[in-house]
Amino acid sequence: MHQHNGVQSPDGQSNPWIILVVVCLGFFLVSLDTSIVNIAIPTILTNLQASLDQLLWVVNAYLIIFTALLIVSGRLGDLIGQRLMLLLGIVLFLAASAGAGLAQNGTQLIAARIVQGVGAAFLTPQTLSIIFMTFKREKLGAAFGIYGAITGFASVLGPTVGGSIVTAFGWRWIFFINIPFGIITILLILWLVPEMKAPRTHHLDIAGTALATLSLLTIAFGLIEGPRYGWGTVFSFVTIPEIIVVGVLLGIAFVLVERVQREPLVPLRLFADRNYSLSNVVSAALFFSQFGLAISAVLYLQSVLSLTPLQAGLIYFPLGLLSMMAAPVSGLLSSRVGGKWLVMLGLSLYALAILALALFARVNTAWWMLVPIFALGGIGAGCTFPPLFEISLRNLDKSLAGAASGVMNTTRQLGGVLGSAIIGAILQSFLAASLISEAAARAGQLPASLHTSFINAVSQVAAKGLQIGSPEGGVSFPAPAGLAQQVQELYHQVFIHAYVQAMQPTLIVPVIVLLLCALACLTIQPAKDGSKAGGHFMFGPPEDEVEITPPSSLAEDELGDKQKVQVEGD
């Protein structure tokens, strides 16, 4: 009977790679579903005759719940076991998928998406935790590389699969397709993935759980819903800024409470490790930049270059594809050349790609010129995440795997939400100014009697902000017969030139953020044992052994009821 870091395969031989693939299937399911749902939103809106407000909540309710529960679910994995939380998350996700597929109106679909968000939050942190607890230090970089490739594959596959399913079978099947895939994943987890958790009794930090959840819930709501309410009043006297401030104050209260808890929800000693703290910042910055780039690029491709959603997706495709291909390579190299340099390289390449888009984006840029830019961004992302995961966890006790994973997933998600909100707001601000200046410069192409009316109409459009679907829309004001078409064509020229002018300085923001993070990576500390790849990987401190419970399908006479293992170093 051979044992590998306390993890054993059914045949008695170590096979952590199978465990890696199996646990990644659950996260793959979530990642794939997210990109598929986004593609199907317009069809769902039409079929269910849902309002625009309901359409936004189909997406936003999921994101808000998902973000709010990541920290809690990560710690629950430490307390009751990562495998149990992974299974529970998949079961909830599948039940919600069935409910979403059967939804008869927008309200039912939103309710199902909320439960999907709970399931996704339950399972997501467990993936990183189980990988961290399964692999020896010299293999951890490669494992995270494969994890990055599998999850990257979902983002590449999602739009194509989603479009095909909606076209051939209807939108309901984008949810129903999750069910057989998820059932297979559950069976594989029960068969192949052992449980890993501390055997002594733990207690859930109720006060910390309530404060953390409410803090993240309000902050996520404020950032995600802010653009829809114009960053103003939500209802009665309550405004978006006030909601965000309340969330921040709750977060401060959470930190104060955690300092006096015997078993805190988030052990603050996690942040005593410089690598872990810095990795959270870098991870959030990369998601900030990715989401900010996505907002800017999608509008540019479709509204300025007049590409169809499919054509825009194909141009964006190299980013996901190259990220998927680069991830396993960077994971392998991180153990040999040091993850710090790979993370710095990846951040620099991603910044260079965004800068190139800012420099080369014009109203008449050929589509093929953009393909290598997105490919470069994909290589940058693929070079960053696998070594960053390894660096963040390398010096932590494995008894903290769930809490560490939950916090890191939360900061990544919040980074993306911040990217959407901040980059979107900056873009809108520049666009409003550019629209007015472009309108003033081009109004001379119309009869003199229409100059003021045209500029005023464009100013009204600028004040409304970016709208979903067709931001260039059009202007409306009384015009003599025969000039309406000319007015709309002129406004289109105003919009596309104004958008390019606004996008270029906006994209400088993520470039600066990424380069600052690359410089900060110079402070990454070496592993505790002095190696490039990692330090002493422990299943916990001596007073807190980790209990390895084999899958229920294994015969007790082969493995026994339980095995208590403590492994240090190699």
pLDDT digits 0-9 by tens, 330-369: 988 887 777 899 999 999 999 999 999 999 999 999 999 9
Phi, psi (degrees; rounded to nearest 5) at 7:
-115, 130
pLDDT above 90 (res 487): no
| Three-class secondary structure assignment of 302-331 | HHHCCCCHHHHHHHHHHHHHHHHHHHHHHH
**Which helix H or strand E contains 553, and what residues bound it?**
none
Give the whole-angstrom CA distance, residue 119 versus residue 107. 19
Give the pLDDT confidence score for residue 565 in this predicted structure: 35
What's the pLDDT band for 11 if we cut at 50, 70, 90?
very low
Task: Give the pLDDT score at 458.
Answer: 85
71 neighbors 212 (Cβ within 8 angstroms): yes
Can you tell me the mean pLDDT for 1-30? 66
* Lowest-confidence segment of 218-232, 380-394, 403-417, 546-560 by average pLDDT: 546-560
φ, ψ for residue 13, nearest 5 deg: -105, 145
> What pLDDT score was predicted for residue 534?
40
Q: Residue 20 in 3-state DSSP? A: helix
Task: Give the Cα separation of 163 and 414 in Å (integer).
Answer: 28
Please answer whether residues 24 and 150 qualify as being in contact, where contact means their C-beta atoms are separated by less than 8 angstroms: yes
Q: Tell me the per-residue pLDDT of 53-97, one tens digit each, with 9 for 90 and over.
A: 777 788 888 888 998 999 999 888 888 889 999 999 999 999 999
Looking at the chain, the whole-number percentage of residues with pLDDT higher than 70 is: 85
Backbone angles phi, psi at 569, to 5 degrees: 65, -140
Which residue type occupies 235?
A: F
Q: What does the pLDDT read at residue 287?
A: 92
Under DSSP, is residue 560 helix (H, G, I), strand (E, B) or coil? coil
The Cα 22–Cα 29 span in angstroms is 11
Q: Does position 155 have pLDDT exceeding 80, yes or no? A: no
pLDDT of 92 reads: 96
**pLDDT at 470 (0 to 100):** 43
Higher pLDDT, 14 or 368: 368
Environment class of residue 450 by beta-carbon count within 10 Å: exposed (0-12), middle (13-18) or buried (19+)?
A: buried
pLDDT band at 530 (very low <50, low <70, confident <90, very high): low
If residue 563 lies in a helix (H) or strand (E), which one and from where to where? strand 563-565
Residues 418 and 284 sit within 8 Å (Cβ to Cβ): yes
Q: Return the number of other C-beta atoms located less than 10 Å from residue 530's C-beta.
A: 7
Per-residue pLDDT, 240: 92
* Phi, psi (degrees; rounded to nearest 5) at 325: -75, -35
pLDDT for 535 beyond 50: no
Residue 319's nearest CA partner among 377, 383, 367 is 377
Q: Rounded to 5 degrees, what are φ and ψ at 568?
A: -130, 135
Predicted local confidence at residue 312, as pLDDT: 79
Alpha-carbon gap, residue 216 to 221, rounded angstroms: 8
Strand, helix or coil at 397?
coil
This prediction has a pTM of: 0.81
Percent of the chain past pLDDT 90, that is, above it, reads 38
In this structure, of 220-229, 403-412, 466-475, the range with the lowest mean pLDDT score is 466-475
Yes or no: say if 405 and 128 are a contact pair by the CB < 8 Å rule.
Answer: yes
In this predicted structure, the answer to whether residue 564 has a pLDDT above a threshold of 80 is: no
Mean pLDDT value across residues 21-36: 84
Query: What was the pLDDT predicted at 202?
Result: 61
Q: Taking 50 as the threshold, does the pLDDT of residue 12 lie above it?
A: no
3-class state of residue 153 by DSSP: helix
Integer Rg of the chain from CA? 25
* Residue entry with tokens 């679909």: 109
Q: Which residues contact 252 (CB under 8 A, 6 or more apart)?
A: none
List the alpha helices (DSSP H) in 443-526.
451-464, 484-520
| pLDDT band at residue 478 using 50, 70 and 90 as cut-offs | low
Most confident by average pLDDT, 160-164, 173-177, 484-488: 173-177
Looking at per-residue confidence, does 464 or 207 come out higher? 207
HEC assignment per residue over 518-543:
HHHHHHCCCCCCCCCCCCCCCCCCCC
Tens of pLDDT, residue by residue over 247-258, are 999 999 999 999
Q: Is the pLDDT of residue 315 over 90?
A: no
CB 27 within 8 A of CB 155: no
| Residue 143: band (very low, low, confident or very high) from pLDDT cuts 50, 70, 90 | confident
Average pLDDT of the chain to the nearest whole number: 82
On the question of pLDDT at 100 being above 60, the answer is yes
Q: Where are the alpha helices (DSSP H) in 177-273?
A: 178-192, 206-225, 240-258
What amino acid occupies position 131? Answer: I
**Run of H or E including 142:** helix 137-169
Of 540 and 223, the one with more pLDDT: 223
Positive/negative CA dihedral, 71, 114, 59, 231 = negative
Indicate the range of 74-88, 379-393, 434-448, 456-470 predicted with least confidence: 456-470
pLDDT higher than 70, residue 328 = yes
Cα dihedral sign, 108-109-111-116: positive
Find all residues with CB under 8 Å of 427, minimum gap 6, and list them. 295, 296, 466, 502, 503, 506
* Distance set, CA 551 to CA 39, 41, 82, 188 (Å): 38, 39, 13, 10
CA distance 235 to 339: 48
pLDDT > 80? residue 446: yes
Ranges of H-type helices in 259-303 = 274-299
- What is the reported pLDDT for 313? 75
Confidence bin at 395 (pLDDT 50/70/90): confident
Inter-residue contact 424 to 510 (CB < 8 Å):
no
Which residue pairs, CB below 8 angstroms and at least 24 apart, start in 364-371? 365/305, 367/305, 367/307, 367/311, 367/315, 370/301, 370/315, 371/315, 371/318
Gap between the Cα atoms of 73 and 118, Å rounded: 9
By DSSP bridging, strand 233-235 and strand 563-565 are: unpaired
